[in-house]
Amino acid sequence: MKKQAVLILLLVSFPFSSYAINLNFGIYYGGRTVNDSLVKEVYGQGSVYRPCFNLNIWKGIIVGVAYERGYSKEGKIGIYGESASLEVTGFEAFLGYQFKIDKFYPYLKIGYGRFSYKQSIDSPYAADYKVDHKKSTWTAGVGLKIYPVKYLFISGEFKYIPLEVKPFEEVVDLGGIRYLVGIGFTF
């Protein structure tokens, strides 16, 4: 259903374009913070990578999709120091605006993401705990693309993703800030 909504948004946007559409593909890598102090204590902060594809459809308006992966950590949890693992991945569709200042393109974007979080706790004292849930949320980002040559860009981006989940009895905040650098091509 979500993929269909993104496809419809892209198709509806095409007729409003009065000039050539720019296609951008990039790969981003960087750090990821975790808001929840207990999660941060057990698993720590981490890193993520994000392939990203977007279209400049009309006078600086961009639409795109991205996939985030890479935050997969292991730690010890509970009073018995049981082995645990946590993985968070996500798909995002976004809408943004960029403007040009010479070879620099600052941009803002907002989006909607669907994130998967998986946690397992290997406990010799009780039944093993496994969580495999999904949660949707909004996203927001700001960044800057620089074109050192005509079709190649380097980019920096700050993104905030709130992600409060309830895997068991208590709410856990898996959200945080991503600070990313990337490289990509414009077609």
Residue 18 clears pLDDT 50, i.e. is over it:
no
What is the per-residue burial (b if ≥16 Cβ within 10 Å, else e) of 58-92?
beeebbbbbebeebebeeebeeeebebebbbbbbb
> Mind listing the pLDDT tens digit for each residue in 96-117?
999 999 889 999 999 999 999 9
Under the banding of pLDDT at 50, 70 and 90, the label for residue 17 is very low
Under the banding of pLDDT at 50, 70 and 90, the label for residue 25 is very high
Predicted local confidence at residue 144, as pLDDT: 97
How many residues are given for the chain? 187
Considering its fold, how many domains does the chain have in total?
A: 1
> Mind listing the pLDDT tens digit for each residue in 61-80?
999 999 999 999 999 987 88
Domain of 38, in residue numbers? 2-186
Residue 126 per-residue DSSP state: S
Greatest mean pLDDT range, 37-41, 123-127, 139-143:
139-143
Which CATH number does the domain housing residue 155 bear?
2.40.160.20
Torsion of CA 20, 105, 162, 50, to 10 degrees: 70
Predicted local confidence at residue 32, as pLDDT: 95
Residue 11 clears pLDDT 80, i.e. is over it:
no
Under the banding of pLDDT at 50, 70 and 90, the label for residue 58 is confident
In this structure, of 8-17, 38-47, 136-145, 158-167, the range with the lowest mean pLDDT score is 8-17
